[in-house]
Amino acid sequence: MLYVDIPLTVRYAETDRMGIVHHSNYPVWFEAGRTEFIKQNGISYSDIEKKGILLPLLELKCRFISSSTYEDKIIVRTSIKSYTKTRLNFYYEVFKESNLENPITTGETVHVWTTPNLKPVNLQKYDEELFNIIARNTGTDMEQS
C-alpha distances (whole Å) from 134 to each of 51, 84, 85, 109, 142 are: 15, 10, 10, 15, 10
Count how many Cα atoms sit within 13 Å of the Cα of residue 78 in the half-sphere of its side chain: 26
| Catalytically active residues, by annotation | 16
The neighbour count for residue 83, using CB atoms within 10 Å, is: 23
Question: What is the distance between the alpha carbons of residues 37 and 23, in angstroms, rounded to a whole number?
Answer: 22
Pick the closest to residue 110 from 63, 53, 60, 145 (CA basis).
60
Amino acid at site 35:
T
